[in-house]
Structure 1
């Protein structure tokens, strides 16, 4: 069985002691280094590298086409799967939610990310806002079938358990937090008019306040959307969620309710693009 030393290196069972003066292993005395020669070699090496860098940069500029198309293709062919496309994700907004996504797999991923943020927001706890989101994000058939069940799910009893009143508002001097933060997306299936997108996200929910019995906690889930191209945009036809994958919790100190309230007010959300 091997063991490791203090800094993670294997422990050989031997200790080396660096002694002043000559070679500790009995060899011939060490020669005095020629500092002037070393300095000259170092300077020459730096100059050579600098000249080579300048030559490479000039060659790259002179050989690149004026429109940059060849360079763009080279970069794109080596891009990592999570690299942004550079395409503007949306044109307009409805009920504060980005819409008008590209009719591509990347557009479907952007749509799923932003729709999850909207559906995980505090707007879902307010009846009129919830109805507006359902109408804007789901297909007409899905929105019609979901409205009544969602109204039942967000009942006054449920809102009360969350510390909210019947209108979905928190008590005075308290801040209700409900956020979805996308981590990444995966295309499970794609056709011209349909897409199945899985979104891995972390969520925050709870009440920040001195008298709160439901503090803000985090969770990790995967949200899968069946999207359809309808009316010139991606719409949700169906969606499901499951727990995880969740990383090992860190050793971060939990923030106070005041810190959570302040952070919620100071830090806004993002428009997510693939």
Structure 2
């Protein structure tokens, strides 16, 4: 994938027969100077679902994750075992997501959990926590972005990845999604960017390498009375290739695909104030398998 790749919006495909077939499909190029399309009006109407658009800020964040995957893949040596790569997910039903009684981590790197065990549980816990970090609001400001990327990636890929990410998170891009040019949030608004893992699956493990799939849902947008980009939801699956480095799992490469996506319910859209209060009042989790 190159920086000029185009991605079609995932939130306006009319899942479950709800999306209108007459909606205009748009395409967004990242990074670039094209404005991100409007997300419609603010939170609002009583007992109605928010309008769906074919392009969303959520998808833009997804493209950033894909950007991470592209740069990390470019740094790979390419000497992996082709037979192992062809195995794919293990056969049989997925193991239940239940408490194992084992503490998931023994420490932290900044605000990110660290010290995962070199076993199946440790690899899945690491992948889930890294997905949360890379989908957080901290990725939109340079200092915190650098700290996050260095904390979760193999150092061999981090430097080049950061150079490309700094280009992608340009002042123009940040302005287009409603932030200030330095990534800060305008007064009176609350910027939301959260990734929540729903489940994990170990696709492959061989000593010091592991491939983990993380099924996620995400929230992203701007909460506030003057926001034209209200907080919306998306569903996606991130596949991370992890390598055991200096006593912990680190990301060597990753990729992302849309879904699986459930049919949306008919919940009333909350007001901007309700969303902002929830973001401020409810913290995140340390995820463990």
TM-score normalised to structure 2 length: 0.66
Helix, strand or coil: the match of 1:133? helix
Give the structure 2 partner of residue 179 of structure 1.
Answer: 194
Once the two structures are TM-superposed, the CA of residue 144 in structure 1 deviates from its matched residue by 1.7
1:139 aligns with 2:154: yes
1:167 aligns with 2:179: no
CA distance in 2, matches of 1:80, 1:155: 42
Once the two structures are TM-superposed, the CA of residue 145 in structure 1 deviates from its matched residue by 2.1
1:89 aligns with 2:104: yes
Once the two structures are TM-superposed, the CA of residue 84 in structure 1 deviates from its matched residue by 2.1
Structure 1's consecutive aligned runs of 4 or more residues displaced over 3 angstroms after TM superposition are none
**CA distances 1:183-218 after superposition (whole Å, capped 9, x unpaired):** 000111101100000000000000001111111000
CA distance in 1, matches of 2:260, 2:152: 26
Helix, strand or coil: the match of 2:235? strand
Give the structure 1 partner of residue 38 of structure 2.
Answer: none
Residue 107 of structure 1: which of 122, 125, 129 is its match?
122
Once the two structures are TM-superposed, the CA of residue 80 in structure 1 deviates from its matched residue by 5.4
CA distance in 2, matches of 1:108, 1:188: 11
Moved more, 86-95 or 172-181: 86-95
**CA distances 1:62-117 after superposition (whole Å, capped 9, x unpaired):** xxxxxxxxxxxxxxxxx953222211111111120101101101100000000111
How do 1:243-258 residues align onto structure 2 when only pairs under 5 Å count? 243-258=258-273
Give the structure 2 partner of residue 118 of structure 1.
Answer: 133
CA distance in 2, matches of 1:91, 1:82: 20
Once the two structures are TM-superposed, the CA of residue 136 in structure 1 deviates from its matched residue by 1.0
Give the structure 2 partner of residue 232 of structure 1.
Answer: 247
CA distance in 1, matches of 2:270, 2:239: 31
TM-score normalised to structure 1 length: 0.70
**CA distances 1:17-60 after superposition (whole Å, capped 9, x unpaired):** xxxxxxxxxxxxxxxxxxxxxxxxxxxxxxxxxxxxxxxxxxxx
Helix, strand or coil: the match of 2:270? coil
CA distance in 1, matches of 2:159, 2:95: 40
Give the structure 2 partner of residue 130 of structure 1.
Answer: 145
Structure 1: where are the runs of 5+ without partners? 1-78
Give aligned pairs, total: 196
